[in-house]
Amino acid sequence: MSSESAPEPAPFPFPVYPSLEAVPKSAAIRQVYPEDLYPNGNYVQLPYGRTRYWLLGPEDGIKVVLIHGISTPSITWKLIAPYLAERRCRILLYDLYGKGYSEAPKTVYNANLFITQLALLLQYLRWDTTHLVGFSMGGGVAAAFAATFPHLLAGKVILTASAGMMGQLRVTNRDNTDPLAILGGIRKLQAESLPGYKTSMESCFKDGPLRGLEWAFTKLPDLRTTSGEPVQVELIHGTAEEVVPYSECLKIKERVPAAKVVPIEGANHDCVVRDGHWQQVAQAIGDFLI
């Protein structure tokens, strides 16, 4: 028998940095982004970290997942989610790994990590199929998810200010800017409160679904639902975008010729929360879904 001691078992489910759940409720960030911002919130332990999610709208409504972007968690949807829920959509919101109330796994933040998180969350909730709405990096997540798991699609994919095919990026390019600053400086507060936030952001910029997803967008025109219907795609994009330029929308359109394009005139990257613009985005999403 070997004199060497047995190796320590690997941590399960996975080594992680804590989420906002571990931050005192009196902290500034939890005042701006409270755990109960939406109703029916809960946590699920997934292999790569504990994930926070919420469910809005009637249980028999049209199932829709809203996927936020790289730096701002599900508070991104604080105006649009209730709008859709009031129109008989069953909305699933959740925080991506490394943001908000979801833990930050100590791993590479690539498309596979994020689409696995969503696939397992849907399985946990027993959602057989769903429509997808992705914003910014969430658009890249939605495209990669659709291309990988077409059998989980209800039929519609909506990409708002979508990334996924951008050029080389460095997180330092945007250290001093917060395109969604209207939401109370949530990005800065996360950086101050979450030990894994900077690491997750850096990996998202280097490895994440901001770029390199040409393969996924190219697949979208050929996707079919389990009933054999073609997947429909809508592209919503501000014409004054400074973070994800409007040219990115046109690049997606080249690969998905049948996609419906909805330009939001004069809108920047805060189109999902800026008064006068979020209403147009919400209406475009609702009209396409219902």
Which pLDDT score, from 0 to 100, does residue 148 have? 98
Q: Model confidence at 175, in pLDDT bands (50, 70, 90)?
A: very low
Which pLDDT score, from 0 to 100, does residue 45 have? 96
Q: Model confidence at 8, in pLDDT bands (50, 70, 90)?
A: low
Which pLDDT score, from 0 to 100, does residue 4 have? 56
pLDDT tens readout for residues 221-264: 999 998 999 999 999 999 999 999 999 999 999 999 999 999 99
Which pLDDT score, from 0 to 100, does residue 182 have? 66
How crowded is the C-beta side of 171, counted as CA atoms within 13 Å? 16
* C-beta atoms surrounding 55 within 10 Å: 18
Contacts of 281 (CB under 8 A, 6+ apart): 80, 160, 236, 264, 267, 271, 272
Q: Model confidence at 286, in pLDDT bands (50, 70, 90)?
A: very high
Which pLDDT score, from 0 to 100, does residue 5 have? 62
Could you tell me how far CA 174 lies from the centroid of its own chain? 19
pLDDT at 282 over 50: yes
Least confident of 5-14, 63-72, 183-192: 5-14
Residue 149 · residue 115 · CB < 8 Å: yes
pLDDT tens readout for residues 153-162: 999 999 999 9
**Which residue in the block uniquely carries the two structure tokens 């829709």?**
64
Phi-psi region of 40 (alpha: psi -120 to 50; beta: other; left: phi over 0): left
Which pLDDT score, from 0 to 100, does residue 13 have? 74
pLDDT tens readout for residues 70-122: 999 999 999 999 999 999 999 999 999 999 999 999 999 999 999 999 999 99
What is the b/e burial string over 193-217, where b = at least 16 CB atoms within 10 angstroms of the residue's CB?
bbebbbbbbebbbbbbbbbbbeebb
Q: Model confidence at 3, in pLDDT bands (50, 70, 90)?
A: very low
Residue 10 · residue 43 · CB < 8 Å: no
Which pLDDT score, from 0 to 100, does residue 1 have? 43
CA 71/CA 187 separation, integer angstroms: 6
pLDDT tens readout for residues 22-47: 999 999 999 999 999 999 999 999 99
* C-beta atoms surrounding 146 within 10 Å: 24
The CATH superfamily of 27-289 is Alpha/Beta hydrolase fold, catalytic domain (3.40.50.1820)
Token pair of 187, please?
A: 């990005």
Domain coordinates in residue numbering, the chain: 27-289
